[in-house]
Amino acid sequence: MVLTHIPIPSLPIPPSWFPGHMMKFTRMLPALLTRTDVVLEIRDSRLPLTSINRTLEGALQKWRLERGWDPNNTNRRIVNTGACERIIVLNKRDLVPEWGMEPFRQAMAKKFPDQQMLFASWQRPRDIRNLSELLVNIAKRHPHAMELNVLVIGMPNVGKSTLLNALRNMGIKGRTPKAFQTSAQPGLTQALSTRLKVSLDPLVYAFDSPGVMLPFLGRGMEGAERGVKLALIAGIKEGLYDMEALASYLLYRLNVLNPNSPAYLRLLPEGAVPTIDLHDFLEQLARRMGMIKRGAEPDTARAAVYFVRWWREEGGLIAAASSPLHFAESTVSELGHGPTQGWGFDFQWQLGPDDRPTNQGDEARIVQAKMEACIDDHLATVEREENEELNVSPTQVKKQQVAEEKMRRKQKHLKR
């Protein structure tokens, strides 16, 4: 059975979670960049677009311009007075299917030619070695500099501290104690770290930074979906979301990732088929796991908690191991398109009648084209939200209005 119509569930209004230490770091960033040579931005491979923190983009662009990069050509540097590189690391690569990585890398290279991008997982020594060599090579290109300073930034719980610990162990020979504390819960790192040496020759130092969430996740369906995605990867403080809401979106997303054989089927009784009905799914799961309340009723609330935690601990690996829905086998439904397909939590498209590869390599090119369209949609949404101020909370709007009114009164008073 293949699900050809997978409707997105209704989602709750996203909560606001922007503690004071996040605001403090956001204000500190421009000053920190003056002594930074490389910005290492960590994103989650499952959310390569949603885990972009656009509130930091202004400071990063200003930093590049001040270091001599051409504002009209992002690949050209007018004045080269030292290292100034931005590297995007898609962490937790083992939680997304391998088949989409190269098409994604190619799609992002076309849209953001000024950004170096690589996939990594702290559990894969080769990935850590590649990242270490990349930083060392940047340092060697600037032999006049005494050291290379790397600032690590990203949203909460994308794995910054864990990746840095692995990088230190790779770059410093011998036994090295774990430098940073790590946690599955977001928000453990609340201040800029002391310098961590990650290479001896040449000298490379790294600074870990607090994970910074968006001050406001947005309005409407875009904001609601953005919040649920971040909550599912544990990027938002536990308890701000109802687990059944997360389970509802997770069921939808796993169906998109593999509408033929979703990863959750192994949790259900033998012979179960894919479903879009959350209540039916949670009832089956509760009975299968023996989660029964008084009166022989299945405990669906407990099942929802189990489902989300199963996915975080092992279900993501199972989902990533699945192969793509084969393009050549796609059939057009009554809705005028073939099955829905997805990669990670940010990419989703429908297979059309023309999406059938005829030559070797066609499938990768089709996937890349689909991803480019998704990236264009994402950028258009971000631009629309900024133009219409949909990314600003009502509280922020009110504070801005109060500040503007105070300024008007002050200017009026000065004119007297």
Domains and CATH numbers, the chain: 19-217+322-404 (3.40.50.300)
| Residue 191 pLDDT > 70 | no
**209: Cβ–Cβ under 8 A, 6 or more apart, which residues?**
25, 151, 152, 153, 160, 189, 192, 193
Q: Give me the mean pLDDT over the 359-374 stretch.
A: 89
Query: Looking at beta carbons, which pairs linking 262-265 to residues 24 or more positions away fall under 8 Å?
Result: 262/319, 263/311, 263/315, 263/318, 263/319, 263/322, 264/307, 264/315
Nearest to 21 by CA among 192, 196, 231, 237: 192
Judged against a pLDDT cut of 70, whether residue 104 lies above it is answered with yes
How much of the chain, in percent, has pLDDT values that exceed 70? 88
Residue whose C-alpha is closest to residue 44's, from 283, 290, 248, 231: 231
Q: Among 375, 399, 41, 54, which Cα is nearest to 214's?
A: 54
Q: What is the mean pLDDT of the chain?
A: 86
Read off the amino acid at residue 62. K
Question: For position 237, what pLDDT does the model report?
Answer: 84
In DSSP terms, 42 is beta-bridged to 89, 154
Q: How confident is the model at residue 187 (pLDDT cuts 50, 70, 90)?
A: very low
The pair of structure tokens assigned to 408 is 């008007």
pTM as predicted: 0.86
Higher pLDDT, 377 or 181: 377
Q: Greater confidence, 415 or 143?
A: 143
Confidence of residue 405 (pLDDT cuts 50, 70, 90): confident
